[in-house]
Every structure is written in structure tokens, then in C-alpha cells.
Chains A and B, each alone.
Chain A
Amino acid sequence: EPEVTQTPSHQVTQMGQEVILRCVPISNHLYFYWYRQILGQKVEFLVSFYNNEISEKSEIFDDQFSVERPDGSNFTLKIRSTKLEDSAMYFCASSIPGAGGGEQYFGPGTRLTVT
């Protein structure tokens, strides 16, 4: 069964450093998302992406964040200058167009630890 994959599974970085989180969405999906989950809290939307541009972004997704689909398979989230409060699980999700609300399928996540 197709699934969303994410790398790395765990990233440790120092405050102020840049990180890139990588995702490979399900191959026939056209809509891509990033969410984050601070330990023990709910999942929060960051950004959605379609047709090589951002569809929607939350207030969390400020100028320090960017997304890119550099080729036909990868979808990346870049944090330019990490802060301690960026420590969280970051989940990539993807969906296909059509009815049903566009069921979103999540990857296993990348645990980002900022020290």
C-alpha cells in the first residue's frame, strides 16, 4: 500500500541553524501539506501546497519557513533559523483531488529537536 515517507526520522540542530525536512508524498497525490505536533499537544496545520505554490498557510508559517517541490517526488520544509520553540514532530501529508474532502494521508514524521 502506498505511503508517505519522511526523512530524517530525527533531526537534532542548534538554535539558529537551518534545517530541511524531506517528504515523499504518495505518487498520484497532488496536494501536499505540512503539520506539526508539539509533544503531547494537538496536530497543527502549517501550510498546504498545490501546483507549485502555497495554497494556504497558518500564522505559525512565518518568514522563517519555506516549502518547495524540487522535483517530481520530493516535498521539503525548510526552517531558515531554528528557534527552541520549533522543537516538535513535523508531519507531511498528501491527498488527491476530488470529493470526500480530499482524504489526507500522513507520513511517520520527523522529530526536530532544537538545542
Chain B
Amino acid sequence: QQQVKQSPQSLIVQKGGIPIINCAYENTAFDYFPWYQQFPGKGPALLIAIRPDVSEKKEGRFTISFNKSAKQFSLHIMDSQPGDSATYFCAASRGGTASKLTFGTGTRLQVTL
């Protein structure tokens, strides 16, 4: 019940395309859902996050869509660029402070020219 399932495992899109990465959770106590971007040899960097009281959040070219009834959320990257090539992790937590993050398995995104 603590798992966060993420798909696809890898994704290749052309420059300008819109990659979509999906995550699903089971624990209804989760109420904070961040996405992290990780480049090789680096730590995860917080990209964007959403709480379940909204269905969508946009920050720049990154959008999270959230479906509370389906317990699913997804990351869309608009106008993707080669510099977006990285591994993306979704995560979830019970919110509040000092609450552990439960990570998905990651999606390796490659944006080609």
C-alpha cells in the first residue's frame, strides 16, 4: 500500500514533443505529490509538486495533472528540449513536516533533436 507505481520506465521523444509520465498510488493518506528531476551523478531536484485539492498545476513548461478518484497523477513536459533529458521520479508523502517521501521507480527521458 506504500508503493508508488511509475510508468513508462523509459521514454524517447523528439524536441518539441510532450512526454507524459504517469504515476499511481494506493495509500489514500498521501496528500503531497512532488516530481523530481535527476541528472546522472546528481541528487534529485524538486521540479513541481501538487496537493490533491487541485486537479492541475503548471510551472513553466511542466504541468502536473491529478486525478484523486483514480489515485493517479502525471507529469507533462511541454515543448521538450534536449536539456530535459534526465530521469524523472514521482513521489508521494502524507504531507506535513518530516514526512518521508515514497518514490516511484523512475522514468528515463531522452529528448532527441
Binding site for B on A (CB under 8 A): 4, 30-31, 33, 35, 41-45, 48-50, 55-56, 58, 91, 95, 97-98, 100-109
Contacts and interface: CB of A to CB of B under 8 A. Distances in A.
A49 B99 CA distance: 10
B113 interface: no
B43 interface: yes
Interface residues of B, number: 27
A35 B44 CA distance: 11
B18 to A, nearest CB: 24
Interface of B: 31-32, 34, 36, 41-46, 49, 51, 89, 91, 93, 95-106
A101 B42 contact: no
Contacts, number: 78
B98 A106 contact: no
Given A42-B89, A107-B43, A109-B42, A100 B51 contact: yes
